[in-house]
Structure 1
Amino acid sequence: MATTYYSEEHEWITIEGNTGTVGITDFAQEQLGDIVFAEVTKANEEVTKDEEVAVVESVKAASDIFSPVSGLISEVNVLLEDAPETINSDPLENGWIFKITITNPNELDDLMDLDSYNKFVESIK
């Protein structure tokens, strides 16, 4: 069964085995507004926790996307090249940004579950 965690930078990661699928939360895409561009680090890149791995640009602002864990980027969502607005319309499913093979599962302990994330969002609104 997949488990999803959330970061204070508003990324989510869904874990299946040792692979994580990463995107931005619904709250993050709402704050950004209409996303018009997304650029992601190439697949097969080693990244560390909190390293910048992507940039999304909206009509309001550009936002860096950070890896919530260390690992090897195994896949990037090529759909976003031609349809970056998928992040707005479906941020938790088809709007995923990259997949990562996790090298340090203990880093997941620094992330939040959904209830904790929702409380965090309420505290910053």
Structure 2
Amino acid sequence: MIEVYIDGASKGNPGPSGAGVFIKGIQPPVELTVPLGIMSNHEAEYHALLTALKYCTEHNYKIVSFRTDSQLVERAIEKQYVKNPLYAPLLDEALEMIQQFDLFFIKWIPSSQNKAADELARKAIQKK
């Protein structure tokens, strides 16, 4: 099973943002850093999710287990609902992509267990 760690970061809220994705279970592990422009931290978290989903679908991974330190994103995916209308299109896009997997899991983890993705997200901010 492919394990995908995602994180979004913003320098300021809103501010310059980045997405970090760390994928293990393949050799070599994949590290993605994506500058996102000016947005809130929560938006950056969603964009990290979308970045990882796109990468996994493009590489034909069918069984994936995602890890995030964003309870907002994890709960939105599990409940298939968001209160804030700003995040609704991002959630809808994610849910559509998730349907392409044979098995998809998402789990909240503490930030201390998501250091690789966090570092990549912070590096993405510096790329701008």
TM-score (norm 1): 0.34
TM-score (norm 2): 0.34
Greater RCO (CA < 8 Å, at least 6 residues apart):
2
* Higher helix proportion (structure 1 or 2): 2
